[in-house]
Every structure is written in C-alpha cells, then in structure tokens.
C-alpha cells in the first residue's frame, strides 16, 4: 500500500509567484526597519561593530607579530 504525499494545498492550487516576497516578510518580522531613521541607526551600529571586531583582530595580530 503506497502512502500518498500530504499537501496543505492541492497541486492544482499551487501557483508560482504568489508568495508575499522577502521584503514583506522581513518588515512583518522586524517592523522597526520600516523607519528610515532606524535603518540608518542600525547600519551605523553594524558598521561600528564590524570596525571594532577588525580592531580587536588587528591588535591581536600585532601583539603576535611583535612577540
């Protein structure tokens, strides 16, 4: 006896291109990103954090090279 695959929608009901898209899903999950000021703040904080990580790695590398 073969098991039939279980679908939420029937195969005829599946329509390509009907998904809400990643932007709508993203803004629904993170509504603060709808605001331009928060986007700028987040980008600045992310850039600062990456710079801090780079500085920590560079400092460790410098200590290794000098010892």
> Whole domain around residue 51: which residue ranges?
20-66
Is 10 inside a domain boundary? no
pLDDT beyond 70 at 37? yes
Is 48 inside a domain boundary? yes
Is 11 inside a domain boundary? no
CA gap 64, 67 in Å, rounded: 5
How would residue 2 be classed by pLDDT, with cut points 50, 70 and 90?
low
Q: How many CA atoms lie within 13 A of 4 on its CB side?
A: 5
The domain total for the chain is 1
Is 8 inside a domain boundary? no
Is 38 inside a domain boundary? yes
Average pLDDT, the chain: 84
Torsions phi, psi of 5, nearest 5?
A: -65, 140
CA gap 33, 25 in Å, rounded: 12
Tell how far CA 1 is from the center of its chain.
44
3 state SS of 20:
coil
Is 51 inside a domain boundary? yes
């Amino acid at each position: 006896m073969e098991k039939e695959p279980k679908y939420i929608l029937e195969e005829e009901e599946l329509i390509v291109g009907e998904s809400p898209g990643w932007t709508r899903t993203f803004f629904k999950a993170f509504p603060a990103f709808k605001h331009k000021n928060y986007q700028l703040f987040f980008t600045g904080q992310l850039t600062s954090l990456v710079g801090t990580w780079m500085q920590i790695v560079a400092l460790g590398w410098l200590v290794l090279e000098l010892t």
